[in-house]
């Protein structure tokens, strides 16, 4: 079974992906955070730079598009094909309040007929393979039966199901009962996504759904960048690896031309996930969030890393149905 790193806008940039691959590895593929094209299918140069092949050497990357109009989707897919990509992923899961009302992301799931019309046009003209990353529904997970019927009409390269509806954002407990519909009915290779935050959750999904194509992990790996390695039976995360990870991320962001101010913001965003590997380090974490420049951040980071509170078995909080203390 393959393991993939889920897209996380604001976190898993090309720099993050490269550094992650260099220091930890273990992910068979990475999905780039979404590109949101304008009416002509154009995206900002800074966004396009994230998926340029020269910024993603040595890793298998699938770019993702957030768009519900076939024209711009196809124009951008053409551009990605010209860069050498052979697959593009459709975002049918973004829950953002600025996206959903425009019928994009998870907003595409509210009207299966419109989703069908979109896919019909995309699949008749797209020069490369199309995979879909979908939630189970907009308001309720029982919407998924009708959504799956639409997906079944097209030769999706892969169907990644984030086992929540849009209302569940990132908090609700994944609905494995509704996910089973995809497991039993999907014609496309199926990928599970949602709350794989620790080895026990991974084992639980593997034993419940043994024939999955892959498991896609976001926050669990953002919290513990060695998670893929651990799931493959490798060594636990070491504190010195985290030190190198942060140092390299900062160095590479600055070298890429990202301002100090923006780099600091990005690092704080990453720390939000890694925090969970330091249970009880409230004071050190507060200091990190207060850092007003990279020098202060470095000093606060050293305090955190040397606090003695690092626990390589800790994980981002969240559970799965049927996952108990006993089987953890
Ligand atoms: C900060 C953040 C940014 C995200 N950005 C994207 C994105 O660009 N495209 C996408 O399909 N999903 C995005 N997601 C959703 C994740 O890919 C994933 O589906 C979700 O976090 C559930 O998986 P997890 O429990 O393994 O984190 C994002 C999630 C978070 C928390």
pLDDT tens series, the chain, 328 aa: 899 999 999 999 999 999 999 999 999 999 999 999 999 999 999 999 999 999 999 999 999 999 999 999 999 999 999 999 999 999 999 999 999 999 999 999 999 999 999 999 999 999 999 999 999 999 999 999 999 999 999 999 999 999 999 999 999 999 999 999 999 999 999 999 999 999 999 999 999 999 999 999 999 999 999 999 999 999 999 999 999 999 999 999 999 999 999 999 999 999 999 999 999 999 999 999 999 999 999 999 999 999 999 999 999 999 999 997 655 5
User: Residue 306 Cα, ligand 1 centroid: separation in angstroms?
Assistant: 30
Say if 310 falls within a structural domain: no
User: Residue 6 Cα, ligand 1 centroid: separation in angstroms?
Assistant: 6
Helix (H, G, I), strand (E, B) or coil at 122: helix
User: Residue 8 Cα, ligand 1 centroid: separation in angstroms?
Assistant: 5
What pLDDT score does 266 carry? 96
Question: Ligand 1: which residue has its CA nearest to atom 19?
Answer: 162
Say if 47 falls within a structural domain: yes
Give the number of C-alpha atoms closer than 13 A to the C-alpha of residue 201, restricted to the C-beta side. Answer: 25
Of 225, 218, 228, 222, the C-alpha closest to 194 is 218
User: Residue 194 Cα, ligand 1 centroid: separation in angstroms?
Assistant: 9
Helix (H, G, I), strand (E, B) or coil at 41: coil
What pLDDT score does 324 carry? 78
What pLDDT score does 291 carry? 97
Does residue 137 sit in the same domain as residue 244? no
- Domain ranges, residue 272: 239-305
Does residue 202 sit in the same domain as residue 80? yes
Say if 120 falls within a structural domain: yes
- Residue to substitute in 4, 5, 9 for testing ligand 1 pocket (most ligand atoms within 8 angstroms of CB): 9
What pLDDT score does 216 carry? 98
Does residue 76 sit in the same domain as residue 9? yes
- Residue to substitute in 170, 205, 231 for testing ligand 1 pocket (most ligand atoms within 8 angstroms of CB): 170
- Residue 141: burial class (beta carbons within 10 Å; 0-12, 13-18, 19+): buried
Say if 53 falls within a structural domain: yes
Say if 321 falls within a structural domain: no
What pLDDT score does 170 carry? 97
Helix (H, G, I), strand (E, B) or coil at 146: helix
Say if 123 falls within a structural domain: yes
Does residue 225 sit in the same domain as residue 283? no
Assign residue 280 a region: left if phi > 0, alpha if psi is -120 to 50, beta otherwise? Answer: left
Give the residue from 215, 231, 247 where a domain finishes. Answer: 231
What pLDDT score does 325 carry? 64
Does residue 104 sit in the same domain as residue 163? yes
User: Which CATH number does the domain housing residue 221 bear?
Assistant: 3.20.20.70
- Calpha distance 182→307 (Å, rounded): 45
Say if 313 falls within a structural domain: no
User: Residue 85 Cα, ligand 1 centroid: separation in angstroms?
Assistant: 22
Ligand 1 binding site (Cβ under 6 Å of any ligand atom): 6-11, 33-34, 64, 91, 93, 133, 162, 170, 193-196, 217-220
Does residue 93 sit in the same domain as residue 123? yes
Q: Could you tell me which residues come within 8 angstroms of residue 167 by beta carbon, excluding any fewer than 6 positions away?
A: 138, 139, 140
Give the residue from 231, 258, 278 where a domain finishes. Answer: 231
Give the residue from 231, 257, 278 where a domain finishes. Answer: 231
Does residue 197 sit in the same domain as residue 245? no
**Domain total of the chain:** 2
Question: Ligand 1: which residue has its CA nearest to atom 5?
Answer: 8
Answer for the pair 72, 110: CB distance below 8 angstroms, yes or no.
Answer: no
Does residue 109 sit in the same domain as residue 220? yes
Does residue 30 sit in the same domain as residue 55? yes
Does residue 72 sit in the same domain as residue 221? yes
Does residue 18 sit in the same domain as residue 129? yes
- Calpha distance 189→230 (Å, rounded): 24
User: Of all atoms in ligand 1, which is nearest to the CA of residue 196?
Assistant: 26
What pLDDT score does 328 carry? 55
Say if 324 falls within a structural domain: no
Does residue 164 sit in the same domain as residue 250? no
Question: Ligand 1: which residue has its CA nearest to atom 15?
Answer: 8
- Residue 290: burial class (beta carbons within 10 Å; 0-12, 13-18, 19+): exposed
């Amino acid at each position: 079974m393959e393991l993939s790193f889920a897209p996380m806008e604001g976190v898993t940039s090309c720099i993050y992906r490269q550094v992650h691959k260099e220091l930890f590895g273990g992910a068979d593929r990475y999905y780039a955070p979404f590109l949101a094209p304008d009416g002509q299918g154009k995206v900002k140069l800074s966004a396009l730079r994230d998926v340029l092949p020269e910024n993603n050497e040595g890793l298998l990357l699938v770019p993702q598009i957030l768009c519900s109009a076939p024209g711009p989707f196809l124009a951008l897919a053409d551009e990605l094909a010209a860069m050498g990509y052979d697959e593009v992923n459709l975002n049918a899961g973004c829950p953002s309040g600025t996206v959903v009302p425009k019928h994009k992301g998870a907003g595409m799931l509210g009207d299966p007929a419109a989703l069908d019309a979109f896919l019909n046009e995309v699949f008749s003209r797209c020069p490369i393979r199309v995979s879909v990353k979908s939630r189970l529904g907009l308001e309720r997970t029982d919407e998924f039966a009708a959504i799956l019927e639409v997906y079944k009409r097209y030769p999706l390269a892969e169907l990644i199901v984030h086992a929540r509806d849009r209302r569940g954002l990132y908090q609700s407990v994944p609905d494995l009962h509704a996910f089973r519909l995809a497991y039993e009915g999907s014609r496309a290779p199926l990928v599970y996504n949602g709350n794989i935050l620790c080895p026990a959750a991974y084992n639980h999904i593997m034993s419940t759904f043994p024939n999955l194509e892959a498991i896609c992990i976001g926050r669990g790996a953002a919290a513990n960048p060695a998670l893929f390695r651990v799931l493959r039976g490798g060594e636990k995360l070491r504190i010195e690896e985290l030190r190198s990870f942060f140092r390299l991320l900062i160095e590479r962001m600055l070298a890429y031309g990202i301002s100090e101010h923006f780099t600091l913001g990005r690092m704080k965003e990453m720390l939000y996930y890694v925090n969970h590997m330091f249970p009880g380090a409230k004071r050190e974490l507060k200091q990190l969030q207060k850092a007003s420049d990279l020098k202060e951040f470095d000093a606060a980071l050293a305090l955190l890393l040397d606090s003695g509170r690092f626990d390589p078995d800790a994980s981002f909080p969240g559970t799965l149905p049927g996952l108990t203390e006993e089987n953890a």
